[in-house]
Structure 1
Amino acid sequence: MKHSSTGRLLLLLIPILMVLQGCVSTVSPGSRGLFWYPLTTGLTKEPLKEGLYWRAPWNDVFVYDTRYKSFKEKVDALTADDLPVTVYAAITMRPVPEEVYFLAQEVGPDWYRQLVQPQLLSAVRGVVANYSMVTLPERSSEIGNKIEAVVVESLKGRHLDIYNVALSEMEFSQMVLRAIEQKQAKEQEKEQKDFEVVIAQRNAEIARIQAKGEGDSLKIRAEGEADGMRIRAAGQSQAQEIITKTLTPGYLQFKLYESPNAKTIIVPEKLNVPLIVNPGADQTR
């Protein structure tokens, strides 16, 4: 009897537990939920935050993940010169947490495929069509920014928060790759020639500066020597002039009398016979 009663109890508890499990809905962290009352008010406007929510079995809770997610698309496009290119574009976005009710009413849970994907593909093809094939790799960041601007503008007011749009990869045909390599080789050759021209111009400028410096040095040295010669000549001329003014007849006679070795000849003005006097001896002739 005990085993049979226990079995009947389990048979009763299992359906009850299944019903209770169906009456609980969980809103995970980073998500928002909306109560759905099909028999009365329909979808509620107030978003549910994370937690456990009890409901009747015939009601439901729609959960929207409001965390940022990255979606990657492979896009076949044509460049401005009508060459095919495969672009891998990645968009990072999320629903606006406070606006999930409007998103659910206007689009539904499959909002990326129905709303975002067509706009992203169209923006990638439209922007890439404005660039030539050889400029795509070096301007990928600029292209990604323009694609993001187009997508943000097209999805304005659609209750979505776009964080970033970027080009992760590009695939080209072999013909295009050869063209890109040739362009890069020519650009490197041009840069090398420009560098050589700059070096040659700098060397020429240095040579001109050195030559000018040497010429200025020689000029300064020559001017210095000429000034020195003029100064010495002027000094010699002034000294000669001073000596000439100083050597008077009286001064010369005085210096002659002063010298012990000098011989003096005195010629009287009215006599024609000279007298010779030797100041250094005691004899007179």
Structure 2
Amino acid sequence: MFVVIIGLCLIAAGFYASKTSYQLARYANILKFAGAFVVVLGLAAASVRQIDAGTIGVQSLFGKVNPKILDNGLNFVNPLAEVAVFDTKVQNYTMSAVATEGEVKGDDAIRVLSADGLEVVIDLTVLYKILPEKAPSIYKGIGTDYKDKIVRPVTRTRIRDNAVYYDAVALYSKRREEFQNRIYQSIDKDFKSRGLVLEQLLIRNINLPESVKKTIESKINAEQEAQKMEFVLQKEKQEAERKRVEARGIADYQTIISLSLTDKQLQYENIKAQKELAASPNAKIVIIPAKGNMPLLLSDK
């Protein structure tokens, strides 16, 4: 509209010049024509609005919101209308204890009280987007700062409302996924009623009080020691069983040998050994003993 104002100023200057001296009156028509051209050019430019990909436009004229949405590309609108642009892509809003991570600078984590009265600090990211057809009603009822008026307060309130049903240790460990699903459903319901869609809810971190952390660590260490001791005992039992099996095998072997070694068998083994000694190239003297005794071997070595 700035161009239109310049054109109107030129037209006014033309009318003023026509009423003054002859020297200025000669330029009056030129000023009027130039002013009219600038006004037409300004109105034409103001009538065309470009909407980029991933966004939509909502137009309002003198405070009245037009329900028709401006899609991507060039759109012809009333040159006096204002166009608010809404991002329809998936957006994220992070609330973190780390100063450089969240939307709000500084510690912006969500502090809640658990069922056992302990303070739990939660870092969280909300992924959401607006429903394009709801953009005019959002603009009319909330404005373009729906992130601060809807996303942030609704998320923080619903997390606090649902955290009171869980103990601090349960939130930190076994019931964390259940808690996340529960707050997802409650936040999604509130978002949809306001023209937003909750894409995903990410609990990035849950910090417990230092005393609770030490208790959990002690419990985990005790469980690990118990598991280690159980493993050692199991190993010792297996080793004892192995030794019993080995001893039983040796005993069975000795029993079998003692039953199979008769006098004739021993005599036969004696004769075989004497034959091997006789065939040996080493010098020796073999004395054959009486029946039932072992031979005596004499050597010159």
TM-score by length of 2: 0.60
Matched letter for residue 150 of structure 1? S
Q: Does 1:200 align with 2:232?
A: yes
Runs (5+) with no aligned partner, structure 2 = 1-22, 96-107, 266-301
Q: Does 1:77 align with 2:100?
A: no
| Structure-1 residue corresponding to 2:269 | none
Whichever of the two has the greater Rg, that structure is 1
Give the distance between the partners of 2:42 and 2:137, measured in 1 at CA: 33
Give the distance between the partners of 1:42 and 1:135, measured in 2 at CA: 48
| Structure-2 residue corresponding to 1:218 | 250
Q: Does 1:144 align with 2:180?
A: yes
Q: Does 1:26 align with 2:50?
A: yes
1:107-186 alignment runs, 5 A limit: 109-138=144-173, 142=177, 143-156=179-192, 158-170=194-206, 176-177=209-210, 179-186=211-218
After superposition, the C-alpha distances for 1:117-140 in whole angstroms (9 at most, x for unaligned) are 343122210232233334544469
Give the distance between the partners of 2:75 and 2:172, measured in 1 at CA: 51
Give the distance between the partners of 2:44 and 2:230, measured in 1 at CA: 83
Q: Is the 8 A contact 1:79 1:131 kept in 2?
A: yes
Runs (5+) with no aligned partner, structure 1 = 234-285
| Structure-2 residue corresponding to 1:50 | 72
| Structure-1 residue corresponding to 2:87 | 65
SS in 2 for 1:56: coil
SS in 2 for 1:155: helix
When residues 124 and 7 of structure 1 are mapped into structure 2, their CA distance, relative to the original with a 3 A threshold, is farther
Give the distance between the partners of 2:217 and 2:246, measured in 1 at CA: 43
Displacement after TM superposition at 1:182 (Å): 1.9
Q: Is the 8 A contact 2:65 2:140 kept in 1?
A: no
Displacement after TM superposition at 1:155 (Å): 3.4
When residues 11 and 27 of structure 1 are mapped into structure 2, their CA distance, relative to the original with a 3 A threshold, is same
Matched letter for residue 129 of structure 2? R
| Structure-2 residue corresponding to 1:95 | 130
Matched letter for residue 227 of structure 2? F
Q: CA-atom RMSD, angstroms?
A: 3.8
1:242-253 alignment runs, 5 A limit: none
Give the distance between the partners of 1:139 and 1:20, measured in 2 at CA: 63
When residues 26 and 140 of structure 1 are mapped into structure 2, their CA distance, relative to the original with a 3 A threshold, is farther
Q: Is the 8 A contact 1:141 1:166 kept in 2?
A: no
When residues 222 and 120 of structure 1 are mapped into structure 2, their CA distance, relative to the original with a 3 A threshold, is same
After superposition, the C-alpha distances for 1:168-192 in whole angstroms (9 at most, x for unaligned) are 35566xxx22x13422441343134
SS in 2 for 1:167: strand
SS in 1 for 2:183: helix
1:36-47 alignment runs, 5 A limit: 36=60, 43-45=66-68, 47=69
Displacement after TM superposition at 1:228 (Å): 1.2
SS in 2 for 1:70: strand
Q: Number of residues paired by the alignment?
A: 228
Give the distance between the partners of 2:244 and 2:44, measured in 1 at CA: 101
When residues 42 and 214 of structure 1 are mapped into structure 2, their CA distance, relative to the original with a 3 A threshold, is closer
Displacement after TM superposition at 1:166 (Å): 1.9
TM-score by length of 1: 0.63
Q: Is the 8 A contact 2:170 2:176 kept in 1?
A: no
Amino-acid identity (%): 16
Q: Is the 8 A contact 1:26 1:53 kept in 2?
A: yes
Displacement after TM superposition at 1:50 (Å): 0.7
When residues 56 and 158 of structure 1 are mapped into structure 2, their CA distance, relative to the original with a 3 A threshold, is closer
SS in 2 for 1:199: helix
Give the distance between the partners of 2:75 and 2:263, measured in 1 at CA: 113
Q: Is the 8 A contact 2:93 2:125 kept in 1?
A: yes
